[in-house]
Amino acid sequence: MAPGPFEAHEVDLHGHRAVYRVAGSGPNLVLIHGMINSSRHWQAVAERLADSHRVIAPDLIGHGDSATPRGDYSLGAHAASIRDLLATLGVERATIVGHSLGGGVAMQFFYQFPQLTERLVLISSGGLGQEVSPLLRGAALPGSATLLRLATRPRLVGAIAAGGNRLRSRGNSTGVYLQAVARALGPLQEAGSRRAFLETLRSVIDVHGQRVSARDRLYLLGDMPTLIAWGERDRTIPIDHGREAAQAIPNCRFATLPKAAHFPNLEDPGGLAAVLGDFLNTTSPAFIDDSEWGAVIEQRARGRLRRAA
């Protein structure tokens, strides 16, 4: 069938507005956006995959058109919200895809709900190493709320975007970075969005870099079809994080996108959709029940005890 429109829908989750977008039909494919982004940023990818999958892209709480309540903005809270959204949609299992912060959410979703996860895809993902761009480290500092309010003035955001467009049109790679900065600042002009952004950011990043790491649990992905994809020009999170994680995960695929920086879904949606489509078409969905999950953890623990002895 031809790809359908990337339609937006709204549900009430625990008294708060949750927005998600859907396209196509078939096996369920969940696309989780990164920090400050929204489900809209998946549109070009979703429409390319909607001929073979039911693509579901939620707006994380505090992002996009979803509500911005005071509350928990940790990775685990975001993962639980996605679980609740999928439950309201009658989705029992799905392939989970996450970009940047969404990669951390995707990993948390798998760790908390392995029985719901068929495959895992991490795109320029957080949670795989400490290093992160100075811009994000600075945003986590005390007092950054005032600076952020000043930085999100429409005139300044417009000037940054225009400068990025000019540089990119001349072939200067700095233009891509400035465009990304402008794209990130734009949604933060509302006070509630700024607060949600800072609470989400500070749950995963401090002045030293990323403070949440999944490296000690990558072994749990041994039986889960896993793909890690990265933009080769990424200046936000080092590509080496992806390479090292792929080496630590048994049978993990690793793909790079030469045309993309930190936002492959926007900078090279065709290339990213092709990589995702190949992965989906050449792997079989996994099924992990609770008893198997316990056995994996117990086996790892026994192995460590034997090595210690």
Q: Which of 38, 53, 124, 234 is catalytic?
A: 234
Does the annotation mark 278 as catalytic?
Answer: no
Q: Tell me the sheet residues that pair with 121.
A: 97, 227
Q: Which of 100, 125, 133, 203 is catalytic?
A: 100
User: Using alpha carbons only, what angle is made at residue 100 by residues 96 and 106, rounded to the nearest 5 degrees?
Assistant: 25
C-beta of residue 84 within 8 angstroms of C-beta of residue 13: yes
* C-alpha–C-alpha distance, residues 211 and 188, integer Å: 23
Q: How far is CA 249 from the centre of its chain?
A: 19
Burial 6-45 (b: 16+ CB within 10 A, else e): beeeeeebeeeebbbbbbbeebbbbbbbbbbbbbbbbbeb
Q: Which of 124, 193, 262, 268 is catalytic?
A: 262
| Lookup: tokens for 168 | 């990119």
Does the annotation mark 16 as catalytic?
Answer: no
Q: How far is CA 70 from the centre of its chain?
A: 22
Does the annotation mark 262 as catalytic?
Answer: yes
Name the residues annotated as catalytic: 100, 234, 262
